Chains A and B, each alone.
Chain A
Amino acid sequence: MGKKKRHQVFVLKPWCWYCEREFEDDKVLLQHQKSKHFKCQLCPRKLNTAGGLMVHSQQVHKCDPEPLTNTLPGRDGFDVEIFGMEGVPSNAQAEWKARKEAEAGAAALVAASTGQRPRHSYTVIPEADLTIALAQHKALMATRNKPVKSISTPMTQPPMVTAPNGAPIPFPMALPGMPPPTLPVGMPGFPPPPGFIPPFPMVVPPYPGIPGAGPVPTPPGAGTGVSPIPGPLRFTIDQAGTGNFTPIPGHTQPYPQTITPMQPGAQTPMPAAASATPAPAPSIAVNEIPTIQPPKDGVMWPDATASPAEKRAQQSRYRYTSPTPDGGEAAMAGRKRKAAADFL
């Protein structure tokens, strides 16, 4: 960094001798000189040099020219012939260079003194910061997972929840028919590791720790409807997702009801789902996620075999199920149940 700066010290930008202004390149400098300093006062003509302006004045206007305009004091004469950077007196050039170097050097020094401190901090004591960052990240991930929550079927057991005999709880997918091991009621549940991604995020979310709710009893195999534990509690988030919890008796519940926390209001963190449909089915969910980025080749409908309407008709919310004319809410629920059942 400092090296680069020091290098830049020696790159002098073109500058105007008449007014000591710096320019990005020579072309701009020439334009500037023509319009600021070599402009004839008597006609719109602009000349290239001071000499040119003098000749122009004498020949066209038959008079001696006015002193040059917009210059620093003492630099308004016609004795020095300057064209861009050419013709600048060498002493003036040296003086300018020294001045710029001094300025740049000072600037580089300042930059170096301030710039080095953060560079050191890369290697120094990030530990405390790290723990804070980790905590923040955990909280973020927890809130992300929160709304896709249903206590119905724990897809994965929290890492430290084991049966009293030490055997890990069997994977709940294999649960039906298998007696789930008992669990001490009131044993604290543990949140899943941050960043945990449920294998089927939309329909059967994992058992996430409910942030801010404290320990929650974990009913293993609750989704099966067979609950060997006397009176374990289930919790659902209320519709607004405000974090108020309603205990639900842990006994047998029809399957669709266990999905109730997944109403649209609670779905917001999955942007695609929120935008797409109130009741997306997992198998079609991929189709319903709108392609946010325009395609690279600019073709907005790349499929040459099916029309947009045909693809759209395959989305779950448009799927036609029953011929009953009033198929609003009931059809929705039916579709949802079917989708979940298909998937299980």
Chain B
Amino acid sequence: MTPDTSLQPPSDGISSLAWSSDSTRLLVASWDTTIQLHDLTGSPQPPQIFSHPAAVLAVTFGSSSSEAFSGGLDKRVRHWDFTTGHCRVLGKHDEAVSSIIWCTDQKILITGSWDRTLRVWDPYSDQPLRSTHSLPERIYNLSHAPATGNVLVSMAHRHVNVYSATELAQAQEGQDLRPTQERESALKFLTRSVACMADGKGWASGSIEGRIAVEYFDPDPASQAQKYAFRAHRQNVDGVDCVYPINALAYHPVFNTFASGGSDCHVSIWDHTAKKRMKLYSKYPTAISALAFSPDGRKLAIGASYEHDNAISGVDDQNRVMLLVKDGVMEDCKPKAKA
């Protein structure tokens, strides 16, 4: 078991991680108002740092590994060109941008914000904002399943909407697109994280109350009957069952198993079809904030930092920020052959 590679972490909590499509570059968004670009091809180097006026909550690569999009508490959506270091503000939301996804097939950028809107952008046009869609609640997470073209929007108060990426790409400004599905989360508590399956058939969601649900897009009752939830990221401390928020979920792009990270400082790998945990990695010194598998499935990037919940008590641990890359996760994520 090779130890995790440690990269130079940002100076404050990690909010989001993104891999470039060729798995050579890793972008880290941080509450320290920067995004940091790590190049993992050669020897470890300090990252390129791009600063923002406020904390960054979301980051994603564009079609190539030399462009990216970011958004955060400054409400603006930014387009970064790493070859020139140039930044262009595409536009803004009325509240902080909480999540960003890039749809490679449709060449559109979708942003979700605490202002209860979903905005679709064409970064290469003179008028980048394509359309705005209002939603019932503050958007917490977006996840995109390229295999089926579904865009999953998770919101406060357990709202979950499903959109079609093609419809979002075609929507005109002023048109308020109806979601393909409007649902309520299978979990009884605030949704903290979501991740679409690699095969696009469903998604996993984690709540702030130590529980993970697996749900399916297909509205057919047979598929819906398959959905389930289970407890995870809990600990019995001195007789009290402690429940931790599940801060991060990520599906393995090859094996369709998923990793979860919680404020209990643990990372687990789950097989949702076998309904089994395949791996529990040893405990990290602080909460897990973000997880991302590299698109080739070989590496798992782990952002560990205090999530400002009640889980981390030591001041040292609260100030600790770690950025790790776990190599050789192929073996850990491969589903066991059925006996």
Does B associate with A? yes
A296 within 8 A of B: yes
| B309 near A300: Cβ-Cβ < 8 Å | yes
| A311 near B237: Cβ-Cβ < 8 Å | no
Report the Cα distance A300→B210, complex, angstroms: 9
| A310 near B51: Cβ-Cβ < 8 Å | no
Report the Cα distance A296→B243, complex, angstroms: 11
| A294 near B313: Cβ-Cβ < 8 Å | yes
Which residues of B lie under 8 Å from residue A41 when comparing CB positions? none
| A293 near B53: Cβ-Cβ < 8 Å | no
B105-146 interface code vs A (CB 8 A; 1 in, 0 out): 000000000100000000000000000000000101000000
B329 within 8 A of A: no
| A320 near B313: Cβ-Cβ < 8 Å | no
| B308 near A305: Cβ-Cβ < 8 Å | no
Which residues of B lie under 8 Å from residue A92 when comparing CB positions? none
| A293 near B75: Cβ-Cβ < 8 Å | no
A177-218 interface code vs B (CB 8 A; 1 in, 0 out): 000000000000000000000000000000000000000000
B242 within 8 A of A: yes
A305 → B minimal CB distance (Å): 7
B318 → A minimal CB distance (Å): 6
| B156 near A307: Cβ-Cβ < 8 Å | yes
Report the Cα distance A313→B96, complex, angstroms: 9
Tell me the chain A residues, 36-85 only, with Cβ under 8 Å from chain B: none
A282 → B minimal CB distance (Å): 19
A230 within 8 A of B: no
Report the Cα distance A312→B308, complex, angstroms: 7
A118 within 8 A of B: no
Report the Cα distance A229→B284, complex, angstroms: 60
A122 within 8 A of B: no
What total of chain B residues lie within 8 Å of the partner, measured CB to CB?
43
Of A271, A294, A326, the contact of B237 (CB 8 Å cutoff): A294
B12-44 interface code vs A (CB 8 A; 1 in, 0 out): 010100000000000000010000000000000
A304 within 8 A of B: yes
Which residues of B lie under 8 Å from residue A130 when comparing CB positions? none
Q: Given A313-B96, A320-B75, answer yes or no on A307-B190 (Cβ-Cβ < 8 Å).
A: yes
A308 → B minimal CB distance (Å): 5
B339 within 8 A of A: no
Of A290, A310, A325, A326, the contact of B138 (CB 8 Å cutoff): A310
A319-335 interface code vs B (CB 8 A; 1 in, 0 out): 01011111100010000
Report the Cα distance A50→B310, complex, angstroms: 62
Which residues of B lie under 8 Å from residue A300 when comparing CB positions? 208, 242-245, 263, 309-311
Report the Cα distance A33→B243, complex, angstroms: 49
Which residues of A lie under 8 Å from residue B277 when comparing CB positions? none
Tell me the chain B residues, 36-58 only, with Cβ under 8 Å from chain A: 51-55, 57
| B31 near A307: Cβ-Cβ < 8 Å | no
| A291 near B310: Cβ-Cβ < 8 Å | yes
- The main secondary structure of chain B at its interface with chain A is loop
A298 within 8 A of B: yes
A58 → B minimal CB distance (Å): 54
B240 within 8 A of A: yes
Of A301, A309, A310, the contact of B310 (CB 8 Å cutoff): A301
Q: Which partner residue on chain A sits nearest B313 by CB separation? A: A292
A336 → B minimal CB distance (Å): 16
B168 within 8 A of A: no
| B156 near A298: Cβ-Cβ < 8 Å | no
Tell me the chain B residues, 280-312 only, with Cβ under 8 Å from chain A: 307-312
| A275 near B190: Cβ-Cβ < 8 Å | no
A309 → B minimal CB distance (Å): 7
Tell me the chain B residues, 189-246 only, with Cβ under 8 Å from chain A: 189-190, 192, 208-209, 237, 240-245
Report the Cα distance A304→B188, complex, angstroms: 10
| B54 near A318: Cβ-Cβ < 8 Å | yes
Report the Cα distance A148→B74, complex, angstroms: 32
B319 within 8 A of A: yes
B282 → A minimal CB distance (Å): 20
A299 within 8 A of B: yes
Of A271, A298, A304, A323, the contact of B190 (CB 8 Å cutoff): A304
| B237 near A298: Cβ-Cβ < 8 Å | yes
| B156 near A305: Cβ-Cβ < 8 Å | yes
Q: Given A305-B157, A307-B156, answer yes or no on A299-B98 (Cβ-Cβ < 8 Å).
A: no
A300 → B minimal CB distance (Å): 4
Of B55, B189, B309, the contact of A304 (CB 8 Å cutoff): B189
B71-111 interface code vs A (CB 8 A; 1 in, 0 out): 00111100000000000000000001010000000000000
Report the Cα distance A237→B6, complex, angstroms: 40
Q: Given A292-B313, A298-B242, answer yes or no on A320-B54 (Cβ-Cβ < 8 Å).
A: yes
Which residues of A lie under 8 Å from residue B53 when comparing CB positions? 320, 322-325, 327, 331
| B54 near A310: Cβ-Cβ < 8 Å | no
| A298 near B263: Cβ-Cβ < 8 Å | no
Q: Given A305-B157, A307-B208, A318-B31, answer yes or no on A297-B240 (Cβ-Cβ < 8 Å).
A: yes
B residues contacting A by CB (< 8 A) are 13, 15, 31, 51-55, 57, 73-76, 96, 98, 114, 138, 140, 156-157, 189-190, 192, 208-209, 237, 240-245, 263, 307-313, 315, 318-319
Q: List 13 A-B contacts (CB under 8 A).
A: A275-B319, A290-B308, A292-B313, A294-B242, A297-B240, A298-B241, A299-B242, A300-B263, A301-B263, A302-B310, A306-B190, A308-B308, A320-B74
Which 8 pairs between the two chains have the least Cβ-Cβ distance?
A: A298-B242, A320-B54, A275-B315, A301-B208, A300-B311, A298-B240, A312-B308, A301-B309
A residues contacting B by CB (< 8 A) are 271, 274-275, 290-313, 318, 320, 322-327, 331
- With contacts A301-B263, A320-B73 known, what are 20 further pairs, Cβ within 8 A? A275-B315, A275-B318, A290-B308, A290-B310, A290-B312, A293-B313, A294-B310, A299-B242, A300-B245, A300-B309, A301-B208, A305-B190, A306-B156, A307-B192, A309-B15, A309-B57, A309-B140, A310-B114, A310-B138, A312-B13
